[in-house]
A and B are shown apart, each in its own frame.
Chain A
Amino acid sequence: MKYSNTNKLIALILIVVSLGLGSCKKYLDYQSPSILNIDQTFGDVNNTNSQVIGIYTELCGTNGYGNQLSITFPAGTDDFIARTTAQYDPTTYYAISNFGTNRYNILLYNVMVQLYNGIERANIACKYIPLSKLYTNGTAAQKQQMAMYYGEALTLRAQFYYELIRNWGDVPASFVPAADRTSNFSPNVDRDSTYDHILNDLKIAENLVPWRDSIPSYGDYRITKGAVKGLRARIALACGGYSLRTKTQMMGRRSDYLNYYQIAYNECLDIINSGKHGLNPVYENIFKSLHSSVRYDDNNELMFEVAMYGQVNDSYLGASFGLSFTNTPSWGTAGGGPTAMPTYFYEFDSAGNDARRDVTLAYYKVITDATQTYNQKIATSSTTITCGKFRKSWTGFNGAIAGTYGINWPIIRYADVLLMYAESANELQNFSGSITPLAALQMVQQRAYGNNSIPVTPTDHDGFFNAIVKERLLEFGGEGIRKYDLIRWNLIASKIAETKAKLSLFAFGSPATNNPYYNGPDYVYTGATTFTNGTCAYEASSLALIGGVPNAVFNERSTVTTAPAKYPTRVYWRRDVGYYTNGVLTSSILNDTLNYAFASRFIPNSKELLPYPDNFLNENRGGVIQNFGYQ
């Protein structure tokens, strides 16, 4: 080889090298094809849809409405409570449900992180969708779709903030993506201003998202106009209602609260007048529809439900909350979780005419016969009544499979719209709507009572308000609504006290006079009978109880003292609430402060809000102030 050739080769290399250097900048601008940048994401309708789906994710799973936000956080008042006999530990989920948690509870942290994660995803969508070319200059169809996604993002963000505010109060709030902020740090923000912001957002959103019937593919798994309006009404009532105020350290409400009742009134009336949603004639079917792909909700009473499935984004409904199954041949072991207040049973119509009772309260559990062949049911004690709205047997998950079953969580349904309408109209004393507040209330009642006649409702302001308070307890038990209703009405302290008093009467058994529970039995004798997975009414009425149907048995003093052959199992009823030593009642679940008694650590004007988690305060380095009940 000659040198000249080699020199040419060297020259060639040098040229290649220098060419390479010329395109340095481009060479170093590398982006993996596995990820999308902002332009790629919001420059495409499908990608934008995917990004919005990513916002919905944060509703799901154990730290969303799959468990903590649906089962743990709302428990602890007069519908369902979480109890255990384990020794008190403020860092468990029981402690949250008993108003006794502290900043070290990791569950609080996990939930907060997830909610803010959802807000960030929504913030990104709310910024970049309106900036996108498709939103401003796309085809009509593209514009409409992008608008819809924008509306969904605004609504979801409002829901996340609502959830944060009702649990923690004046939470830090920002409406721009984190990457656009000048600092990662942000202080507490007055809840009234955040509420105003999200109510305004929802106003925008309701004009972006169409009614449910024009987007059938959404079903009620995604946000439609009715849901936006319904949530706006709910948030307006929370904003106009009471909450624990940082400044006064008292429960209080803003002076212009009636304006917010007006918002709720308008939104609910809009929904009612639209005719797009209606009551499901069969109360039980609302909940059955949450359990599988078979729907029993033709009137679309369910306006928005959190759709959950799969391991991570699944719900623990039915698994950790719901009708209890123990080693059953068909469904294995499932259910349990927060149990009904023993007195909740007696809040329902004493004649047993209210169909909601036997859907809401599963006062039986499902077990197996000795041969492991048949599913059987047997009555529970009064403190182990589970929530019957969630049942593994309604899902497609059969067999002994443990874990999660894809049961959805109802966020808002039409009955709530009717009752919010009735409540706000009553508050505003506005009877000019297309239906009267009383008619709205009675629609909900009549659905529950079927052909039976409904009770009489007073029509004066206070009387009607009390009827609403009662009705919402009966209608929404186990749906995560009661605790926050009581807070916004400023009734939480009094209802807890009232429930403790009732529990005391229930447990202590005396005096006979003025004790509504006096006729309830100390024990109930029961036997195992077949569980057919039939209607709630059938399964309750076919329980093997000595003394007849449940309504009769639980309202009668039993004279039986030993178990008859047919009903070999004695379960505790009134006796279950107290601790008896040698037949003498020594204490009851209500004053057992060592363990998790009912609302055992509730302090008025203090524990209505949860503590900010330790990690959250630490990372904020003093920029966020702890709620005063936990300082």
Chain B
Amino acid sequence: MKKCLLAIVLSFLFFVVVLGQQPRRVTVKVVSKENTPLESVSLKLKGTNVGGQTNKNGSFILTIPGKGEATLIVTHIGFKSQTTIITLAQTEVNIILEEDKSVNLDEVVVVNIGYSSVAKSKLAGSISSVSEKDLKDFPVSSAAEALAGKLAGVSVQTSEGAPGADIQIKVRGGTSLTQDNSPLYIVDGVEMENALSVLSPDEIKSIDVLKDVASTSIYGSRGANGVVLITTKAGKRGRTIINFSTNTGVRKVTNEIKVLNPYDFVMYEYELYHLHYNGYYLPDTANTFANKYGAFNDLDIYKSIPMVDWQNRVFGRSAPSNSQVLSMSGGSDGTTYYATLNNYNENGVMVNTGLKRTIGSFRFENKVSDRLKVGINGRYSQQEIDGTGTSDVGTSANNTLKNDVRFQPYNGLINVEDYDPNAVYDVTINLSNPLAAALNTTKYRKSNSLFTSGTLNYQILPNNKLTFNSVVGLNIADTSINTFQGVTSYQVANTSSTNAGMPFITLQTATGKEITNTNTFSYRPIFSAAHTLNILLGEETNQVDATGFSQTIKYFPTNATADQAFANVQLANPPSGYIQAAPASAVTGSRMISFFGRAMYSLNGKYNFNASIRRDGSSKFSAANRWATFPSAQFSWKMSDEKFMSNLNLKWLSYLKVRASYGAAGNNRIGSNNLYSTTFATSATNAGYAVGDASINPGLYSANLANPNLKWETIISRNLGIDFELFNGKLSVSIDGYINHTKDLLLNSYIPQQTGYVQQFQNVGKTQNKGVELQLSGTVVRSKGFNYTASFNMSFNKNTILELQGGVPSYTVSSGWGTAGDDFLVQVGQPVGQFYGYVSDGFYTLKDFDQSRSVISDPTHAKWVLNPGVADASAILGQAVVPGVMKLKKLGDIKSDSVIRTTDRTSLGNNQPLFFGGFNNQFTYKNFDLSIFVNFSYGNKEYNANSIEFSSAYKAVGNNMLAKFANRWKTFDANGQYMTDWNEIAAANVNAKTYAPTRGNYILRSDVIEDGSFLRVTNISLGYSMPKRLLDYSVFSSFRIYATVNNLYTFTKYSGFDPEASTRRISPLTPGVDYSAYPRSRYMLIGLNVGF
């Protein structure tokens, strides 16, 4: 052991102490009664700081300072402590530890409950946990990804397949209607925004999710959406352990959207060029079709030309990824440390996309004295995400998946367009060459973040009777987003009046700084063995400051590349009459002060009462409404300790506990721009005026209608839980039921427009989440050499809107991707996110029309007349109703009027699953381990917006369609003649399976609302660890190789890329829209993990 002791004290001071000693070495070996070496046994010389932990062989070389006898204290969890005298002559000590039967091993499983930990058996709240063991098989880029399906009551949804894509985590359903529903993340006691997305699974020791509000209310504010407590790995006393793990693999997309082949595509184009959207024949007098595709008689040639699979060209690559993690940990008796370096490099399946990340972290803990412990934690990460991907928050014009799906499916012939680096956005087809667009639009998102914290723990009274704990956290993040829009982009082509058809770049930078300081006193008086009491009093301040800067620089030469533009902004040169846009900057911030207290009382560990209270003050509310108090109470009863239970002598039931809790928590997640008072912001667009020509003077405007009454949103929750173990602990079960009510929702409500505003933040409305969660874990087989353990969880949650602002029964909102009219309904009595549209009714066929009144003999004047009572969808579709047109159901009173109007929309279901969960199976056989993890979701509907777009010729010709349209209704005969004979049309369409692509507006209808239920084989991992006897001959202390497949296969009826896709995420009101999502891929990798 080393002679130097390094101590770093951080709260406000740092200092270093160096001590010198004279060595005397004694080898201590600790074994159990069965003669098994015991690892991690604590050794300590009485009256000194000298000590350590045994290694895997149960031994430790003790360095004894000074001369004379020494008293060695040996302690180990689950064993009785021993004291041994080491005489001067001894160089070896052998100790046999005796098991302590009085201690149930389960008791020592501790759970972080916020500001302190508690033994699992005394837990009264509802908490789900995962440990590093559960994460180790998931070599994925972020911890969030590894969590999917692992925790009952926690839904983890990956929005799309892009590198670094958003992962939405919701605890027990969302409560808020318009605000962020993500939980609060606390990393080692310090708040950290979005922690799971930026931490790598390798760094995490455990994750505890506080689910019932009685547990979260100790975090008061923002606890409403659940609290995720993350503990990172720390060093252990003992020898230095160096660990190196690496893996490498490839990603590959698993499916693609089938489109028409070249011949069918051209035949469809022929129809499009010769059929007016109102159904009559359109003579192509200018020969535009023939000029572009050739004469009708020659179209057979398209049967023989090869199809170009653009999706494959853009997404088809085998994208390699690799990661390396090096960690070093160890410690002496007073000091532990853990340092890690993590490098991750991912290529997206789409060309020009990828993710690179490097993390260095360091964790150090030092026991300055018996009473004072200090720790320091530092973490630096650098991340770069490249590529624009395919989805955008804007309208369909800004989303680019359509390029890859809809571009003409062939090369050659007329208008050859293979990959053309000089291709520009083609306004006639509203598409760009897919490869050119993917390569010429660039986006770099770089972020650097520094996360540091210092802790100080001081025992004011010994034996942890009264301790003071202080944590200071500083979290700094810098992000920069550089975007380049080349001539292939829609923005350049279609807003040319401001862009002059020239490339432009946008440079955005943002910095965020968050400081948290928490100071707590913990008091644990000792009455008797039966009673334990733990009182916590604390204070916390939280300060968030953010700055942002953005600048758009336009008018680069048309051939400028992205890197040239970023590196040389002075290349930009506005043509005469144009001016550069002004830059914009913004500073925001919020402040919060909180006081809290918690009392936990336990009688014999059998009855546990907890009560907590927290008072929060937030700068987001006016002085009168700033403070709010959130109380809670919890109770648990370990029934299996009761006599009447043991009298029953239930052999199969070894453990039974019931839990109940009730509590309140708050939410202040709204913008921090003093929404309670009238303020003014500067803007050239919202408040600009051209007081001279060719320039805009920015002005000031009031962006929000002040609401001085704004106050905390409150959630009240009731939770009832039961934990039991069956068959001698082989199966443990935990069931929780809850009802959460959220009131005074901070809702950006619609208000009468004569106020001058459309929305105002108000405390209105109520929502409810009810649910049941089930967790099972157990050992299925335990035999010599073969073990099979499994865990299973399943969550049911039902979200209901109980009240909206001012008692309105419902209102509609738009997901904004491009439908005519709103496509979501917010309705009292229903869950959030109801799809709102028309009911599909197949397509119009001849029998819907009145043959006697329809005039079809003259193609250019063809006129179709519907039979009385047949629903007329023309106004909604934006095209005349003729045979083969999509048909919708009339829902209202059909007798009075059969015209379909916006009032014929109805709820088409929603994205919320009936239940979801995961099933994890871990097998070990000798030195092999295998894990199979599946997660599932049932009953959720998915809004396939891609399918609407790819079924419509709205806005453009020359766009390919879904493959199913090869079997569409036909209007032209085999010779390309418009059919004018009733019987001929009937005969030609005997086998028509679908409507012809729509020609008018994009509308939401029920045929694109699909069942999004799925069962995903998320992970299969096979590993081999080198056995001990081999390790002993090697330099390794551990060695494991493994092969893993992530996202192996998804069983689903969903026809799009991925049933989990959700690309309209700005508002929680529009979930489950699969529009232009980046396809998800399968990831196969092999890895190696060695310890030294």
Chain A residues packing against B (C-beta within 8 Å): 1, 3, 6, 9-10, 12-13, 16-17, 20-21, 24-25, 27-38, 40-41, 47, 50-57, 60, 87, 89, 104, 109, 112-113, 116-121, 123-124, 171-174, 177-179, 181, 184-186, 218-219, 221-222, 292-293, 307-314, 319, 395-406, 408, 615-616, 618-621, 623-624
Chain B residues packing against A (C-beta within 8 Å): 11-13, 15, 17, 278, 368-369, 371-372, 456, 458, 460, 468, 470, 494-498, 500-501, 519, 539, 541, 576-577, 585-593, 617-619, 623, 626, 672-674, 677-682, 684-702, 705-706, 708, 750-758, 760, 806, 808, 811, 874-875, 878, 880, 902
CB pair A50–B700 under 8 Å, yes or no, is: yes
* B71, chain A: closest CB distance, angstroms: 23
CB pair B689–A56 under 8 Å, yes or no, is: yes
Chain B residues within an 8 Å CB radius of A12: 12
Chain A residues within an 8 Å CB radius of B500: 399, 401
* B364, chain A: closest CB distance, angstroms: 17
User: A311 to B696, alpha carbons, bound, how many Å?
Assistant: 10
- Give me 15 A-to-B residue pairs in the complex whose CB atoms sit less than 8 angstroms apart, sorted by A's number: A1-B368, A28-B618, A38-B677, A50-B698, A89-B878, A104-B902, A172-B752, A179-B708, A221-B690, A307-B691, A312-B688, A313-B688, A396-B694, A398-B577, A406-B694
CB pair A87–B880 under 8 Å, yes or no, is: yes
Given pairs A53-B689, A109-B753, A313-B696, 10 additional interface contacts (CB within 8 A): A29-B619, A34-B585, A38-B679, A104-B902, A121-B756, A172-B752, A174-B754, A307-B692, A311-B685, A616-B754
Partner of A403, one of B11, B498, B585: B498
* A318, chain B: closest CB distance, angstroms: 11
* A164, chain B: closest CB distance, angstroms: 9
Chain B residues within an 8 Å CB radius of A38: 677-680
Which of A184, A186, A293 gathers most chain B CB within 10 Å?
A: A184
Known: A87-B874, A104-B902, A406-B693. A57 touches B678 (CB 8 A): no
Q: Which 9 A-B pairs have the closest CB atoms?
A: A403-B497, A120-B756, A53-B699, A54-B687, A54-B699, A293-B693, A309-B690, A178-B755, A396-B577
Q: Which residue of B lies closest to A620 (CB)?
A: B752
Partner of A53, one of B371, B697, B902: B697
Known: A121-B756, A172-B754, A185-B752. A396 touches B576 (CB 8 A): yes
User: A276 to B213, alpha carbons, bound, how many Å?
Assistant: 72
CB pair B591–A178 under 8 Å, yes or no, is: no
Partner of A57, one of B470, B576, B674, B689: B689
CB pair B470–A618 under 8 Å, yes or no, is: no
CB pair B684–A310 under 8 Å, yes or no, is: yes
User: A218 to B692, alpha carbons, bound, how many Å?
Assistant: 9
CB pair B496–A403 under 8 Å, yes or no, is: yes
Known: A47-B700, A177-B678. A619 touches B689 (CB 8 A): no
User: A34 to B545, alpha carbons, bound, how many Å?
Assistant: 12
Chain B residues within an 8 Å CB radius of A401: 496-497, 500-501
Chain B residues within an 8 Å CB radius of A173: 754
* A355, chain B: closest CB distance, angstroms: 26
CB pair B519–A17 under 8 Å, yes or no, is: yes
CB pair B750–A619 under 8 Å, yes or no, is: yes
* A421, chain B: closest CB distance, angstroms: 30
Q: Which residue of B lies closest to A313 (CB)?
A: B688
Chain B residues within an 8 Å CB radius of A37: 674, 677-680
Q: Which residue of A lies closest to B696 (CB)?
A: A310
CB pair A24–B693 under 8 Å, yes or no, is: no
Known: A1-B369, A35-B673, A311-B495. A623 touches B585 (CB 8 A): no
* A220, chain B: closest CB distance, angstroms: 11
CB pair A616–B699 under 8 Å, yes or no, is: no
Partner of A3, one of B369, B589, B760: B369
User: A314 to B708, alpha carbons, bound, how many Å?
Assistant: 35
CB pair B591–A28 under 8 Å, yes or no, is: yes
User: A47 to B685, alpha carbons, bound, how many Å?
Assistant: 17
User: A299 to B941, alpha carbons, bound, how many Å?
Assistant: 67
CB pair B681–A35 under 8 Å, yes or no, is: yes
* B825, chain A: closest CB distance, angstroms: 13
Chain B residues within an 8 Å CB radius of A119: 754, 756
Chain B residues within an 8 Å CB radius of A32: 586-589, 672-674
Chain B residues within an 8 Å CB radius of A57: 686-689, 699, 701
User: A620 to B806, alpha carbons, bound, how many Å?
Assistant: 10
User: A60 to B697, alpha carbons, bound, how many Å?
Assistant: 13
Chain B residues within an 8 Å CB radius of A403: 495-498
CB pair B458–A6 under 8 Å, yes or no, is: yes
Q: Which residue of A lies closest to B468 (CB)?
A: A10
* B576, chain A: closest CB distance, angstroms: 7
User: A218 to B690, alpha carbons, bound, how many Å?
Assistant: 11
* A285, chain B: closest CB distance, angstroms: 16
User: A186 to B494, alpha carbons, bound, how many Å?
Assistant: 41
* B261, chain A: closest CB distance, angstroms: 33
User: A621 to B806, alpha carbons, bound, how many Å?
Assistant: 9
CB pair A184–B460 under 8 Å, yes or no, is: no
* A353, chain B: closest CB distance, angstroms: 34
* B551, chain A: closest CB distance, angstroms: 16
User: A405 to B680, alpha carbons, bound, how many Å?
Assistant: 29
User: A13 to B374, alpha carbons, bound, how many Å?
Assistant: 14
CB pair A292–B693 under 8 Å, yes or no, is: yes
Partner of B498, one of A56, A308, A310: A310
Partner of A619, one of B470, B495, B753: B753
CB pair B372–A54 under 8 Å, yes or no, is: no
Which of A50, A308, A397 gathers most chain B CB within 10 Å?
A: A50
Partner of A27, one of B593, B700, B808: B593
User: A215 to B983, alpha carbons, bound, how many Å?
Assistant: 78
Which of A13, A47, A319 gathers most chain B CB within 10 Å?
A: A13
CB pair B496–A402 under 8 Å, yes or no, is: yes
User: A396 to B702, alpha carbons, bound, how many Å?
Assistant: 34
User: A157 to B114, alpha carbons, bound, how many Å?
Assistant: 55
Chain A residues within an 8 Å CB radius of B697: 50, 53
Partner of B706, one of A179, A218, A221: A179
Chain B residues within an 8 Å CB radius of A221: 689-692
CB pair B700–A41 under 8 Å, yes or no, is: yes
CB pair B626–A28 under 8 Å, yes or no, is: yes
CB pair B685–A121 under 8 Å, yes or no, is: no
Chain A residues within an 8 Å CB radius of B672: 30, 32
CB pair A53–B688 under 8 Å, yes or no, is: yes
Chain A residues within an 8 Å CB radius of B880: 87
Partner of B701, one of A16, A54, A619: A54
* A267, chain B: closest CB distance, angstroms: 25
Partner of A123, one of B13, B586, B706, B756: B756
Partner of A402, one of B497, B590, B623: B497
* B875, chain A: closest CB distance, angstroms: 6
Q: Which residue of B lies closest to A46 (CB)?
A: B700
Chain A residues within an 8 Å CB radius of B12: 9, 12-13, 16
Known: A28-B617, A310-B498. A116 touches B682 (CB 8 A): no
Which of B576, B701, B754 gathers most chain A CB within 10 Å?
A: B754
Chain A residues within an 8 Å CB radius of B875: 89
Partner of A120, one of B17, B589, B702: B702
CB pair A34–B586 under 8 Å, yes or no, is: yes
CB pair A36–B700 under 8 Å, yes or no, is: yes
User: A87 to B498, alpha carbons, bound, how many Å?
Assistant: 33
Chain A residues within an 8 Å CB radius of B874: 87
Chain A residues within an 8 Å CB radius of B372: 1, 6
* B563, chain A: closest CB distance, angstroms: 27
* A596, chain B: closest CB distance, angstroms: 14
CB pair B371–A178 under 8 Å, yes or no, is: no
Q: Which residue of B lies closest to A217 (CB)?
A: B691
CB pair A6–B678 under 8 Å, yes or no, is: no
Partner of B17, one of A1, A28, A113, A171: A1
Known: A10-B460, A32-B672. A312 touches B685 (CB 8 A): yes
CB pair A52–B699 under 8 Å, yes or no, is: yes
User: A20 to B17, alpha carbons, bound, how many Å?
Assistant: 31
Partner of A121, one of B369, B495, B585, B701: B701
CB pair B691–A184 under 8 Å, yes or no, is: no
